[in-house]
Chain A
Amino acid sequence: MSTPLIGVSKSILKIKELIKHVANTCLNVLITGETGVGKEVVAQSLYTESARSSKNFVKINCAALPETLLESELYGYEKGAFTGAHKKRPGKFQTADKGVLFLDEIGDMPLALQSKMLHVLQSGEFSPLGSDQEFKTDVWVIAATNHNLEESMAKKTFREDLFYRLNIIKIEIPPLRERKEDIPSLIEYYFRLYKSEYPDNLGSRPDSDVLAKLCNYPWPGNVRQLQNCIKKQMILNSWEKIFEELPKEHPEINSPLLNENQQNGSSYYTNNGFSNDRTRIISEFVDLSTSSDKLFEDISLKKIKKLASDKVEKEVITFVLEKVGWNRSRASKILKISYKTLLYKMNEFEVHPPVK
């Protein structure tokens, strides 16, 4: 069974409405959004709502396969088309005929295959590898990507003509941190799902404090990360441990400012949404847990500027050094600083080559 599209936020409701309007048009769809937001769930919903739901839903991940393999997976091949092609094999375009072909990670498709894809979308015909025959295909193409394809087009890594041909219907799924009101219903859904799969599990539902914390976490891995957390909870039955294991680049989960907010208002998504992004950035350089008086004393723009620029400099220097195999004179040229300055900075920021 496919996962339903869950959420009560304005953006999810709009997507549901859009799905209803376009599910029977068979117009090409492009779904965009960060990793883990549920692009495949949306594709599945389109398929389920359409008249094609009795036919196949065929998925292919364009990033997971090397170019030649991706090509033979998509279009199939004739016996003897290449070494190892012992017998004829149908491609995804054939298996998806009259149904849906879901092209995941389309932004990672190599350019050569993009032009072939464009040809199929324009003509509705394809030919398997090693065959000189063209076959008609009737597939509904739904593509998805976490790339910004406008940027990829500017960098010439994605064909403009293919982009416009896919972008007939565009469904943009916002990250979970921008639709926190969906978090409680997602938790409830996955909780029930795992409870029914493993009825013996003891994992408890979150109480209101835990729920508040869950709603305030920024979920960089989006719904998939939240889903994994619920699954883990079913086994560990300790929200404390779950929180310990969440990536800590986002200290606001424990930030005192947030806790204050939570105590004052019972609402678990603070009305300033993620103005806590600001809190997070500031807290990297200033201790926000101190009293206001002390805090204001500590905030010196000059001091913060130094700390912030040091932090970025350190990362950039390490990045360049790693790229050039720790060749310091090359790195200094790239960074446009003197060799001496580079050595000084490496020493100051404690940037050391890896010990072999």
Chain B
Amino acid sequence: MTEANKLLIVDDNEEIISVFYEFFNSLGYEVKTAGDGLAALKLLKDKSNFFDCLITDLVMPNIGGVGLISIVKKEYPDMKIIAMTGYGDYPGALASEAKADVVLFKPVELSKIENKVLELINQKHDKQ
């Protein structure tokens, strides 16, 4: 059996976190979660090269999604990142500028996110 894909999901909304967790967990992913950018960075530092993909909200306290994406792309250039936003165009545009691989606008179907996750992880493996 192949190893489970590992996801880090970052959102300041606990409900969203738990829905995402349940969904991806039931599909066999190994999922970790964080409530803001700072918590996410600490997890990444503890487990560098552990995660295959990061899914992050954009508007959050302390280190927001755009900041998180910028820092992660610099420190872990291979990390695949999906940004999600419900705050109109500006944060999304900034996330693209920060080199998020995919930017999705809420509301978005979970199955669609999973497709993107698979696509990105396959890209990563192909490259390796």
Contacts and interface: CB of A to CB of B under 8 A. Distances in A.
B66 interface: yes
Contacts of A172: 61
B94 A27 contact: no
Interface residues of B, number: 17
A116 interface: no
Contacts of A167: 59, 64
A169 B67 contact: yes
B70 interface: yes
A25 B38 CA distance: 13
Interface stretch (A158-166, A180-188, A249-257, A271-279): A158-166
A160 B70 CA distance: 20
A168 interface: yes
Interface string A106-118: 0000000000000
A17 interface: yes
A303 interface: no
Contact of A169 (B62, B88, B90, B94): B62
Interface of A: 14, 17-18, 21-22, 25, 27, 160-161, 163-165, 167-172
- For the complex of A and B, the 7 pairs showing the least CB-CB separation, nearest first, are A164-B90, A168-B67, A27-B67, A169-B67, A161-B90, A168-B66, A18-B62
Contacts of A165: 90, 94
Contact of A21 (B41, B59, B64, B91): B41
Contacts, number: 46
Contacts of A163: 90
A164 B38 contact: no
B45 to A, nearest CB: 9
A291 B70 CA distance: 62
A21 B70 contact: no
A27 B91 contact: no
Interface in B45-73: 59, 61-64, 66-67, 70-71
A19 to B, nearest CB: 10
A171 B94 contact: no
27 contacts: A14-B38, A14-B62, A17-B38, A18-B62, A18-B63, A21-B41, A21-B63, A22-B67, A25-B70, A25-B74, A27-B67, A27-B70, A160-B88, A161-B90, A163-B90, A164-B90, A164-B91, A165-B90, A167-B64, A168-B94, A169-B62, A169-B63, A169-B64, A170-B61, A170-B62, A170-B64, A172-B61
